[in-house]
Amino acid sequence: MRAISFTLLLACVGAGLAQPYLFYNQGALVYVQSGALVYVQGGMQTNDNGANNGVLENLGTIRLVDGAGGYLGHFYIGPGGEVNSRPNSDIFIQGNYHNNDGYHRSTGTYAANGNTNLGGTVTFNGTQTQTFQVSVDATTGANAQNWTLNNVVINNTAALASRHIQIANHPTGGADSDRDMWIAGTLTFTSGRIHTEGATLSGGAPAEVRVLNSATTAISRTPWPPDASSFTTLVADNQDRYVHGYLRRNLVAANGAYRFPVGGAATTKGLQGIDVTAASDHYVRVYFESTPVADATLPTYCRPGDPTPSYLYTALDNGRWRIEPFSAVDATTPGTQTGPASITMYNRVVTNAGSGACPAAGTSPDDYWPTRPTDRCYVGFNATAAPAVQLVLPNNCEGSNSGLTVTRTGFTGAGYNTNGSVLFATSWTANHPLPAEDIRLTAAPAGSAIALTWTVSPEREYVLGYELYRSTDGVNFSRIAQVDKQGRTTYNHRDAYVQPLTRYFYRVGQHDIFGDVRYSNTVEAMLPASEGSFSAQLQPNPILTEGYLVATLPAAGTLSFQLYDAAGKLVAQSSYDLQAGTHQIDLSPVLAQVAAGNYNALVSWGGEMRTLRLIKADLSR
């Protein structure tokens, strides 16, 4: 065997040369020492011309660049040829990577020429579309060491439409003849994409990028999460650095979230990233489909017992993710693992949800349900086979007020099939039960009744009328009246079926011709005790910019007001010397001292004490 050892080899190409591979190794041992550079203006091919006589040992750097005369920097391993990449070695390729029934050992424990370690990096450094093709025959196909790469860097700088590495089939096919891109180390996206679309392996399965490394950092893409500077248009940064097709990763449950930079066509959908956390250790394959999911009308996802239980859930029209578990990197049939434990979707290029901001985000806790969390506009779901929106229980109240990032848990189906499908997406609803900004309700005692007044500005032409709801706990509401539309801006109603010293909660539902309901803020009121008794109540509640304490004293004396936060800490206090009778005390000086949130007000007079709950709303929400 003839050996060539060198520290620098420069192969220059003239226009008159005709060979397609300008560094042609057939029957020699080429040994690139550590620190050495092989620079070829054109391609490189290693073939076997006998018993293991075509061998390339790389401990240094090989740079294959496009040369004169149209020659490209291909890297070709022919039948029986051997390439052994050692740790810290690099192969930079501006052309195509073809391993046609040869050996490229960069993983495993293969020992040769005094080396026992394997590793190295292959960088796809082209300025036009590059292809990746691995073909092995049935006798060598069982040994993944022969074609699995260690570290891969994608640094293709072609024009956008051509800026990718295309996984390709063997031109003649055959049983067990071709392999997709397996990576044992790391995958780094610097510039360019990997396309598995259009390649179906000889066994009938789609081509994939398969990452065996179980570290969450095995795939690097900056920035992450993807660029969120626009919700409705494709940001240039999201047209690059992802897998257009199938990506399979080795997930370990204890490690947390794994990023999957996947997406659609670079000129339409681009990067639509997702994070997946597994409930157990296994492989997960993710594929992004640009087909939108169908809309559906369903009960509210966060409020069981809502008196108007049907809302339109509109699926974001960017598309959906197909997420499937596998027991092994080479498994061809999805497994039965339960999960995923959680997913976080980064939705991009959405045209049917405005700016992506929640149109009527409320404070927390919600005015509508003071004892429960605030609803969110955007909620992740598992699509049914139709496919249409199917919400996931029991994690009812998860969601987001921004459609850009939506996290969801609670997917418990075997094989990641919770609702008859392995498709995951995001929906939004403009009719979530949050206070409507243009319907404001007030309530105040009026003799033996409670007077309710709501203003509408403006009253829309499609409104049908209003329903009044009452509750004694702020959670379970019952309808007490119906008022038809009268073309006014102010409506009134007296609730005479009330008792003294009982807290009543009220809200108004505005119904329209589309079957939708918008709700007012929720207020509370209390009739004072009968004459001769001490009583106190807050108006309105929740309080926005102005609030009052209405107190009735049977005799002159000092009224004390103390305000405590949720942790029981005294945050404000005041006292008032008052005559007998009913007084409306301005609380604005006290409220100016505290932030938005939930408080307990302790009101005392003459040894008697009343405890009231006070909610200060956040005007910025």
Tokens of 537: 């109540």
Residue 618 has pLDDT above 70, yes or no: no
Q: Cis peptide leading into 387, omega within 30 of 0?
A: yes
Q: Give me Rg for the CA atoms of the chain.
A: 34
User: Does the pLDDT at position 367 exceed 50?
Assistant: no
Whether 301 shows a pLDDT value over 80: the answer reads: no
CA separation for the pair 584, 609 (Å, rounded): 18
Torsion sign, CA atoms 528, 534, 540, 546: positive
Measured over the CA atoms of residue 513, residue 517, residue 521 and residue 527, the dihedral's sign is: positive
Q: What is the pLDDT of residues 422-450, one digit of tens each?
A: 999 988 876 443 333 457 788 888 888 89
Query: Model-level pTM?
Result: 0.68
What pLDDT does 174 receive?
A: 56
Q: For the chain, what is the mean pLDDT?
A: 82
Residue 366, pLDDT above cutoff 50: no
H/E run at residue 589 = helix 588-591
Three-state SS string across 293-330, please? CECEEECCCCCCCCCCCCEEEEECCCCEEEEEEECCCC
Q: With contact defined as beta carbons under 8 Å apart, do 522 and 492 qualify? A: no
For residue 19, what pLDDT band results from cuts at 50, 70 and 90? Answer: very low
Q: How far apart are CA 320 and CA 311, in angstroms?
A: 21
Give the chain's end-to-end CA distance (angstroms, integer). Answer: 77
Task: Give 157's contacts (C-beta < 8 A, 6+ positions apart).
Answer: 125, 126, 127, 163, 191, 192
Determine the pLDDT at residue 397: 60
| Other Cβ atoms within 10 Å of 217 Cβ, number | 10
Q: Please report the domains of the chain, with CATH numbers, ordered by start residue.
A: 2-292+318-339 (no CATH), 439-525 (2.60.40.10), 535-616 (2.60.40.10)
Whole-number pLDDT of residue 32: 92
